[in-house]
């Protein structure tokens, strides 16, 4: 319990130091982190919900490409023109669409479960 309290105190001191430093851009770091989450995982969630073809290969490839595009976009200074999540998200979507063509989902159990959820959803909507 003492270790936990000491860690909270240390983290609080670091946060206080960052907040008092006018050159520190905590908001920028948080924005960049959320951009990374959105570019890497946003399309995966959407494809998992709405695309029967999505496989682990397409999800992994999309996540890698989306993250790389986000980091490169930020590092070359284009984030002043457009928030880096946008090109990262688009690159992830395009990558997943291409990968779904060449490597569609093959696990019959998961495909059957996906179809079952779609059928139940359709039944709820149509009544």
Three state DSSP letters for 45-77: HHHHHHCCCCCHHHHHHHHHHHHHHHHHHHHCC
Tell me the pLDDT tens digit for each residue of 49-71. 999 999 999 999 999 999 999 99
Instruction: Domain ranges for the chain, please list them.
Output: 25-126
- What's the token pair of residue 115? 């179809």
Mean pLDDT along residues 104-119: 90
When mean pLDDT is compared over 27-31, 66-70, 122-126, the highest value belongs to 66-70
At which residue do the structure tokens 């105190």 appear?
Answer: 9
Q: What is the DSSP letter of 94?
A: H
pLDDT of residue 101: 95
Integer-rounded Cα Rg, in Å, for the chain is 20
pLDDT of residue 54: 93
**At a CB cut-off of 8 Å and minimum separation 6, what does 52 contact?**
105, 111, 114, 115, 118
As a whole-number percent, the residues of the chain with pLDDT over 90 amount to 52
Sign for the pseudo-dihedral over CA of 13, 25, 83, 66? negative
Whether this prediction's pTM lies above 0.85 is answered by no
> Are the C-beta atoms of 62 and 39 separated by less than 8 Å?
no
**At a CB cut-off of 8 Å and minimum separation 6, what does 39 contact?**
66, 67, 69, 70, 84, 85, 88, 89, 91, 92
Judged against a pLDDT cut of 70, whether residue 108 lies above it is answered with yes
């Amino acid at each position: 319990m003492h270790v936990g309290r000491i860690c909270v105190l240390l983290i609080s001191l670091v946060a206080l130091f960052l907040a008092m430093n006018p050159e520190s851009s905590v908001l920028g770091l948080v924005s960049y982190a959320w951009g990374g989450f959105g570019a890497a995982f946003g399309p995966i969630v959407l494809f998992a919900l709405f695309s029967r073809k999505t496989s682990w290969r397409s999800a992994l490839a999309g996540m890698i490409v989306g993250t790389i595009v986000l980091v490169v976009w930020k590092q070359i200074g284009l984030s002043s023109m457009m928030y880096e999540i946008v090109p990262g998200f688009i690159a992830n979507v395009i990558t997943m669409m291409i990968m779904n063509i060449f490597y569609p989902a093959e696990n019959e159990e998961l495909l059957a479960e996906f179809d079952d959820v779609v059928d139940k959803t359709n039944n709820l909507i149509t009544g």
